[in-house]
Structure 1
């Protein structure tokens, strides 16, 4: 993807992120700061072709439903342990995406994030709804001026047996690695953006499976950027919107430098502004370790294209300009 040709959508996305952070600070509500919006902006504005097979009504419905579900689980079932609620949330999102015939994987973050943060305010799902609407309006404007392709959505549903088998495997692997992380308090090993990245990498034709080290690198670097940004706010007292602006620039440089515009990395950066903060480097270290686990699990435990295949067949259609998007 050409940075020069996409500078305006990138700039607009950066302004959106800074405005969201500023609004959160202005009204004193952390629920307004939804980290996954950075990922959605990458997939819906920055990349010329939308990163997910979903139309706008389904995107809004799935994201809002996920946010409401995560909040309701906190309010209605506070005594259910976090690991169990997270597994239920993952299964719920899988069911919703299959019913909708769409692959809006950021829904996983919308549902599981409030569980990790203990969100108990209805401001959260309202904010998710409003933010997604704003992104969709911006997407329409970008389409009309020719800065991105129109959405080519085709409902896709696997046969029931195949869908059940695929999502059961994803759910089991998720539980295998995420439950111990949550149960031991090491939640940064399985923060929602890593779960989104893992789920996307389990798709057999996901092009970034050919370059797993880049998938890990961009997520690990995003963790470092997020750590530096949060540390600047906590220890140096710099304004959050200003720090978010510099963090977004760092993120864009990482995306562009690695030629891997992977949307979940954006959410990794912004999530650092919300998570509990003790040891400043704990977030970066655990995100890097978690990313390695989730990337390796997706490649080792799920069939699909792999680096060895790329070596035998160089120059094929897998060499796409937008790694991190589906083909």
Structure 2
């Protein structure tokens, strides 16, 4: 989606994605062989084929509806690929972040803000190389992940997007990400997780970040 949104027609993009993907996969295999991390086993979805088709059909249709307005209004960063990934994950995955929508949302917005600020102040104003900017962004992100106790990969992707978009789009980028993330997470919570059926205690745990709950108890 990103080449379409950014209207990129250079072969540099797919070549770069291929090289980065190869590096990531190679690193994963190497770490597994060195027993630095456990091998991830693929577990096929046991849901009936008909139910899977209905779920993915609903996901596809809802995605088209959500994307219609941003495309019409030229607010294309509301439907960034990392936000679409977030939507799909909230709708289909059983990962723990599904029960932390507020925290996930804040991670995405903060990541977009970090990337924008470093690109504006560091690269465009101070003239620092993009490689330095990328290192600074990752340092802040890893610190944020460590502080929050949770890792969310799409937030890292969102933080790097400001490095490849036009300068005039940077000023509105965090706002568009905030709007898009709010819509995607809210629709996924309502449409696929049916959070309106949850008990009040479950909603409180879901909406209020753990750090705030712990602070209030103290």
Equivalences for residues 58-73 of structure 1 within 5 A: none
Conservation of the 8 A alpha-carbon contact between 1:219 and 1:268: yes
In the other structure, the counterpart of 1:246 is 136
- SS of residue paired to 1:275: coil
Corresponding position of 2:104:
215
Q: Which residue of 2 aligns with 1:295?
A: 185
Report the alpha carbon displacement of residue 192 of structure 1 after superposing the two structures with TM.
1.0
Q: What is the deviation of 1:175?
A: 1.2
SS at match of 1:278: helix
The alignment status of 1:190 with 2:190, answered yes or no, reads no
Task: Report if aligned partners of 2:162, 2:170 keep a CA contact under 8 Å in 1.
Answer: no
Give the total of aligned pairs: 204
* Conserved? CA contact 2:190–2:196, under 8 Å: no
- Deviation (angstroms), 1:279: 5.3
**Root mean square deviation, CA, Å:** 2.5
Q: Residues of 2 paired with 1:242 and 1:146: CA distance?
A: 31
For 2:49 and 2:200, locate their aligned partners in 1 and report how far apart those are by CA, in whole Å: 31
- In 2: Cα distance, 1:272 partner to 1:157 partner: 39
Whole-Å separation in 1 of the counterparts to 2:128 and 2:197: 43
Q: Deviations over 1:103-124 (max 9, x none)?
A: xxxxxxxxx1111111223332
What is the CA-CA distance between 1:187 and the residue it aligns to? 0.8
Q: CA deviation at 1:306?
A: 8.6
Partner of 2:24: 135
Distance in 1 between residues matched to 2:15 and 2:133, nearest whole Å: 25
> In structure 2, what is the equivalent of residue 261 of structure 1?
151
In structure 2, distance between residues paired with 1:308 and 1:209: 14
2:161 corresponds in structure 1 to 271
In 1: Cα distance, 2:28 partner to 2:199 partner: 35
Query: Which is worse superposed, 213-222 or 115-124?
Result: 115-124
Match of 1:283 among 163, 167, 173: 173
User: Within 2, Cα distance between the matches of 1:123 and 1:275?
Assistant: 15
- Secondary structure of the 1:272 match is helix
Aligned residues of 1:255 and 1:261 also touching (Cα < 8 A):
yes
- 1:153 paired with 2:153, answer no
Bigger proportion of residues as helix: 2
Contact 1:209 1:307 in 2 (8 A): no
CA distance in 2, matches of 1:183, 1:120: 22
Match for residue 228 of structure 1?
117
Query: How many angstroms does 1:164 deviate by?
Result: 1.8
Pairing of 1:1-327 with structure 2 (within 5 A):
112-156=1-45, 158-203=47-92, 205-231=94-120, 232-278=122-168, 280-303=170-193, 308=198, 311=201
